[in-house]
Amino acid sequence: TEAALIQAEKLAAVGRLASSIAHEINNPLEAVTNLVYLARQGQDAQDIHTFLDLAEQELKRVSVIVNQTLRFHKQSTRPTPCHAKDLFDSTLGLYEGRLRNCNIKVDLRSNAGTSIECFEGDIRQVLSNLVGNAIDAMPQGGRLILAAREATDILSGRRGIRFTIADTGVGISRATSARIFDAFFTTKGHSGTGLGLWISADIIQRHGGTLRLRSSQSPEHHGTVFTLFLPFGLGDGVIADTTLAQSER
């Protein structure tokens, strides 16, 4: 039956994911094993210190991967009403220092009344992933535009809130954009995990929402716009947590 097929596909996806998580965690753990060995053999106190520092960095990486995968922000059991402005404010609070250091101007457009029922911790996590990526894309400074307003989803005709997270950063090429929602896909080398957008897409799907992007890399007009649509009605039990609404990806 169709349901059995979907179930089999889901299991296969979980299997692939588990094996890539194991792989991602195994690399730094192997590095730690080697570094501890080197530290044991080391004669010079300075060298030993360096090996242990490196080992510590690798362990932090493991911890980031585990936390991201297990949903660092615990999920509340039921959706609660949230103000868009509060969601943005708390996200910006996380990045205050980096925004200042990178010389990024923030343009916040959200009227106080805009609110929606959602799993607050999860949506905070999505917004903080999107804002973190926008900041990463603007190392030389730029503009971060955050907007939220009531809107109708063009495809489904549902009412909800449309969040916009836009940056004037480096932009995303077409080839890259096809892969950014994949687990562990990153262009940031060792400093990225490639889990942010993958988790975000999953969270938005469970909210019955959509996450879309437009990006440009032309020299005169570069940057990326993520549009996040969350439908009203999650709190009415319209979407039970077992039935996933299809997001278009």
Nearer CB in complex with ligand ADP: 33/187:
187
- Alpha-carbon torsion, ordered 143, 174, 131, 229, to 10 deg: 110
Task: Say how far apart CA 199 and CA 122 lie, in whole Å.
Answer: 9
Q: Smallest gap, in angstroms, from Cβ of residue 195 to ligand ADP?
A: 6
> Cα–Cα distance between 61 and 136 in angstroms, integer?
18
Is there binding between residue 176 and ligand ADP (CB under 6 A)? yes
Q: Which of 104, 123, 172, 228 binds ligand ADP (CB under 6 A)?
A: 172
Enumerate helices (H) and strands (E) in the chain, giving the number of each: 6, 7
- Smallest gap from Cβ 231 to ligand ADP, in A, equals 23
In angstroms, the CA 229 to CA 207 distance is: 9
What does residue 142 show for φ and ψ, rounded to 5 degrees?
A: 155, -155
In this complex, which beta carbon is closest to ligand ADP, that of residue 35 or of residue 180? 180
142 binds ligand ADP (CB under 6 A): no
Query: 241: which residues sit within 8 A by CB, 6+ positions away?
Result: 206
Give the shortest CB-33-to-ligand ADP separation in angstroms. 25
Smaller CB separation from ligand ADP, 185 or 232: 185
Question: Minimum distance from CB of 58 to ligand ADP (Å)?
Answer: 16
CA atoms within 13 A on the CB side of 238: 14
Number of residues that bind ligand ADP (CB under 6 A): 22
Smaller CB distance to ligand ADP: residue 170 or 239? 170
β-strand 210-218 against 221-231: which pairing, if any?
Answer: antiparallel
Q: How far is the CB of 37 from ligand ADP (least distance, A)?
A: 29
Looking only at residues 177 through 236 of this chain, which bind ligand ADP when binding is defined by CB under 6 A? 180, 185-188, 192-198, 224
Asked whether position 129 contacts ligand ADP by CB under 6 A, the answer is yes
Give SS3 for 142.
strand
- Does 133 contact ligand ADP by CB under 6 A? yes
Write the single-letter amino acid at 39: A
Contacts with ligand ADP by CB under 6 A lie at: 129, 133-134, 137, 167, 169-170, 172, 176, 180, 185-188, 192-198, 224
